[in-house]
Amino acid sequence: MAKINVLPKEIYQLIAAGEVVERPSSIVKEMIENSVDAGARNITVEIQHGGSTYIRITDDGCGIEKDQIKKVFVSHATSKISAKEDLDSIATLGFRGEAMASISAVAKVELLTKAEGEDIGTRYVIYGGEEISFDDAGCPKGTTIVVRDIFYNTPARMKFLKKDVTEGNSVAGIVDRMAISHPEISFRFIRDGKQTLITSGNGDLKSAIYSVFGKEVTDGLIPVDYEYENMHLSGFVSKPTASRKSRAMQFFFINSRLVKSATAMAALEQSYKNSIMVGRFPMCVMNIELNPAQVDVNVHPAKIEVRFANEKPIFNLVYYGVKTAIEADRSVKEADFSPTIEELYLSEKEDNKSYKNNEKTYSAKLDFFKKKDPEPVQQTFKIQPSNNFWQEMSASKQEYRHEDTDDRKLPIDEKKSFADIDITFDEQTEEQTAQENVTEAQKPSDVDFKLIGEAFKTYIIVEIENQLYFIDKHAAHERMNYERLKAQATVETQMLLSPVAVNLSKDEFSTFCENIELVRQCGFEVEEFGESSVIVRAVPSLVDDSDVSDLITEIAQKLLEHKTDIIPDKIDWIYHSASCRGAVKAGDTTTREEQELFVKKLLSMPEIRFCPHGRPVFIKISKYDIEKQFGRV
C-alpha cells in the first residue's frame, strides 16, 4: 500500500485555489462580490493584459479593521456565517471564506483599506500565501486590492490562460453582469488604460442595461413585474421581434446573485412558444426575490449553480410573469429601411473612402432612419397558473421541455373559408372579460382603417392613422385557426365524402399508431388500415378535403421527429399542421370584400401578432419613414 502523506500548507493551498481561481475573471468576480457585500456604492475595476499581470479593484465600502486584515487571507475565515444554521439562509454573495486565501496562494496581492472610525489605513502585502509587509498607510475609507502576476508560482496553470483579449473579454463579461445585477452601484471598468464602461448607480435597471449593452438592445426590451407565492420577479425581457440566435443574452439572478437555472431557462423559453421562430431565443435580465431559505447556493465552488427547495413555484413565477409581460406588449414589428453594412461598404468603395469612414456613415444613416415610437399602453390583466399545470409538466423527464398552458379562451369563430369569417366586433364573452380582466378603455373595439389593397397576392395593405400595415394573410389566418383549435374543448369535425387511405413508411406508421389517440383528440377520425396505412374518415372542420393525405403524412413525420416530446407538445405540432393547412395560402386570390372582413376581424384580436411558427403577422411603416425616403422631411 502506498504511503499516505499529509500535504503541507503550501501545496494544499494551491490545490484549493484551483477550485476558485481558474482565470483572471474568477478573481474579479470574487473580489467584486466582496465589495458588494461591504456595502460599496462605487466600484472601479482596472485590468492590464487581460488581468493576467494586473487587476485592481477599488470600492468605498465599509473597509476592514486593522486587527481583522490578516484573517481575510486565512482559509475558511468569514464574517458571513458562524453556525451551520446560517447556511440555510445565506443573503450575501460571498460566504465560504476561501476566495482571498486562494487568490493570494497563486498571485502577488496588495491590500489597502481603512474602516469607518479609523484615523489611518493599512497596507498589507502577501505573495504566494506568504506575508511580505504589514504597515500603516494613508487611504480613504473603503478597500483597494491589487492582484499581480497570476499563477507566477504555478507555471503549469499559467500556460492554460488564453490570449489577453480573450481573458479581458471574460473579465468585461463579469463586470457587465455585476453592473446589471446591482444597478444601485456605480461600476467603472478600465481596460489597458481605457475606460470602457461606467454606470450611473441610480438604481434604474434599464439605465444600467443601456450602459452595458447599448441602445439597440435596450429598445427591444419590455418590463416584467410579477408576484407569486411570496416571490417577486422583476427585470426586462426582449420583445418577440427582438429575439436572438443564442442564449448568450439570458441573465438570471436570485436575490441579485448571478445563477444558472435550467428551471428558469425552460420557463422563459416556454413562455415565448409560438411567439418567436424556432432556433431563436429571447433575451432577459431578470431577478427573482425569494426567501433565502428556499434556495441552496452552496452547491458549486463558484456559487453559480443553485438548488431550489421546490422547482414548481419558480417555473410558474417565471413562466406566467414573462407570459403576462408578452401579452401586455402590443408593439408591432417595424419595417427596417436601414442599409446593411455591406451595401454601405460597396457604396463608399466607389468613392474611394475607407471602411472606417464607412462605419461612421452607417451609424449616422441608421440613426437617421429610426424613430422611436411612444411606449405601448400596458394591459392590466395578469395570467395565473392553472391547477393542473405542473402535473402536466412533470410527465416529462426532459430537462428543457415544458408546454404552453395559457388557458384563456378566445372568442374566435371563423369558418374554414377565408370569406366566411364570422365577424363579431364589439361583443366580448363573459368568460373573456373575466379571464383577461381588461379595463373598459382597453377592450378591443372597431379600429378605423383604410384598405389599400393587396401586394403579390400575399400581403394585405392597410392604412391606420399615420401608419401603413402589411399583413401576411396566411400567417394571420393560420394563427386564428391555431387559437381556435386550442380554445375548443372538443374540436369540431367534418365527415369526408369518401374515406382517405394514407400510406406511410414503417417508422411513420409505427409512431403514428402509438399516438393515434392524440390524433383523434385533435379532431381526426382515423384508424389503422393494413400494415403501413391509415384510413381517415373525418378531419377538423377547418381543413380542406384535398389536403387530408398530405396533412396526415406531415403529422406522422413530425410525430416521428419529435417522438420524445411530452404529450402537450405533440398536440401542439398537430394543431400547427392543421392550422397551416386550413389557412388561406400566399398566392390565393381574395376579393376586396374578403380582405376587408378579414382585417376587421384581425384588428379586433390584438393578441394575434405572430403565427404559430413565430413569424410576425404584420409589419408597419410610418408615414414619417416614407417621407424621409422621398426627402420630404
Q: What is the mean pLDDT of residues 68-86?
A: 63
pLDDT at residue 236 in the model: 96
pLDDT at residue 412 in the model: 32
Indicate if the pLDDT at residue 438 is higher than 90: no
pLDDT at residue 117 in the model: 87
| Kind and range of the H or E run holding 623 | helix 623-629
Indicate if the pLDDT at residue 164 is higher than 80: yes
Under the banding of pLDDT at 50, 70 and 90, the label for residue 608 is: confident
Amino acid at 305: E
Contact 212, 176 (CB under 8 A): yes
Indicate if the pLDDT at residue 306 is higher than 50: yes
pLDDT at residue 394 in the model: 38
pLDDT at residue 93 in the model: 54
Compare 591 and 346 and report the one with higher pLDDT. 591
Q: What is the mean pLDDT of residues 278-298?
A: 84
Among 89-93, 227-231, 253-257, 356-360, which stretch is predicted with the lowest mean pLDDT?
356-360
Among 2-16, 56-70, 165-179, 296-310, which stretch is predicted with the lowest mean pLDDT?
2-16
Compare 5 and 69 and report the one with higher pLDDT. 69
Under the banding of pLDDT at 50, 70 and 90, the label for residue 562 is: confident
Q: Can you say whether the dihedral through the CA atoms of 8, 10, 15, 17 is positive or negative?
A: positive
pLDDT at residue 363 in the model: 45
Longest dimension (CA), the chain: 97
Compare 95 and 518 and report the one with higher pLDDT. 518
Amino acid at 408: R
Contact 404, 463 (CB under 8 A): no
- Give this prediction's pTM: 0.60
- How far is the C-alpha of 175 from the C-alpha of 184, rounded, in Å? 14
- How far is the C-alpha of 631 from the C-alpha of 608, rounded, in Å? 34
Average pLDDT, rounded, for the chain = 76
Contact 233, 321 (CB under 8 A): yes
Placement of cell 475595476 in the chain: 45
pLDDT at residue 377 in the model: 40
- How far is the C-alpha of 42 from the C-alpha of 61, rounded, in Å? 8
Question: Which residues, other chains included, contact 79 with Cβ-Cβ below 8 Å and sequence gap of 6+?
Answer: none
Q: What is the pLDDT of residues 364-399, one digit of tens each?
A: 433 433 444 434 344 444 555 544 433 433 343 333
pLDDT at residue 135 in the model: 94
Q: What is the pLDDT of residues 611-633, one digit of tens each?
A: 777 778 888 898 988 888 888 88
Beta-bridge mates of residue 189: 45, 197
Among 137-146, 245-254, 349-358, 407-416, which stretch is predicted with the lowest mean pLDDT?
407-416
Instruction: Please list the alpha-helical segments (H only) found in 182-333.
Output: 205-213, 215-219, 262-271, 311-328
Backbone phi and psi for residue 224, each to the nearest 5 degrees, phi listed first: -125, 130
Instruction: To the nearest 10°, report the CA torsion of 308, 312, 318, 324.
Output: -160
Q: What is the pLDDT of residues 446-460, one digit of tens each?
A: 678 889 988 888 899
Question: Which residues, other chains included, contact 214 with Cβ-Cβ below 8 Å and sequence gap of 6+?
Answer: none
Instruction: Please list the alpha-helical segments (H only) found in 66-203.
Output: 99-106, 155-158, 164-181
Q: What is the mean pLDDT of residues 561-570?
A: 69
Contact 383, 393 (CB under 8 A): no
Under the banding of pLDDT at 50, 70 and 90, the label for residue 511 is: confident
Compare 489 and 421 and report the one with higher pLDDT. 489
pLDDT at residue 322 in the model: 93
Q: What is the pLDDT of residues 135-150, one digit of tens each?
A: 999 899 999 999 999 9
Backbone phi and psi for residue 206, each to the nearest 5 degrees, phi listed first: -65, -35
Q: What is the pLDDT of residues 230-269, one digit of tens each?
A: 899 999 999 988 888 888 889 999 888 888 888 899 899 8
Indicate if the pLDDT at residue 20 is higher than 60: yes
Residue 244 Cα distances to 475, 534, 566, angstroms: 21, 41, 26
Q: What is the mean pLDDT of residues 339-345?
A: 45
Instruction: To the nearest 10°, report the CA torsion of 356, 361, 367, 370.
Output: -120
Amino acid at 183: P
Strands 450-455 and 108-114: unpaired
DSSP state of 162: -
Contact 298, 254 (CB under 8 A): no
- How far is the C-alpha of 608 from the C-alpha of 617, rounded, in Å? 8
Among 241-245, 334-338, 455-459, 535-539, which stretch is predicted with the lowest mean pLDDT?
334-338
Under the banding of pLDDT at 50, 70 and 90, the label for residue 298 is: low
Q: Which range is most confident: 15-24, 85-94, 531-540?
A: 531-540
Q: What is the pLDDT of residues 106-123, one digit of tens each?
A: 999 999 999 988 999 999
Q: What is the pLDDT of residues 189-231, one digit of tens each?
A: 999 999 999 999 999 999 999 999 989 889 999 999 999 988 9
Indicate if the pLDDT at residue 65 is higher than 80: yes
pLDDT at residue 303 in the model: 53
Placement of cell 384581425 in the chain: 602
Compare 563 and 97 and report the one with higher pLDDT. 563
Placement of cell 470574487 in the chain: 30
Indicate if the pLDDT at residue 176 is higher than 70: yes
CA proximity to 601, closest of 488, 497, 460 = 460
pLDDT at residue 307 in the model: 75
Q: What is the mean pLDDT of residues 93-101?
A: 61
Compare 602 and 355 and report the one with higher pLDDT. 602
391 exposure class (CB count in 10 Å sphere: 0-12, 13-18, 19+): exposed
Grid cell in block for residue 533: 396505412
- How far is the C-alpha of 110 from the C-alpha of 216, rounded, in Å? 40
CA proximity to 149, closest of 45, 260, 237, 54 = 54
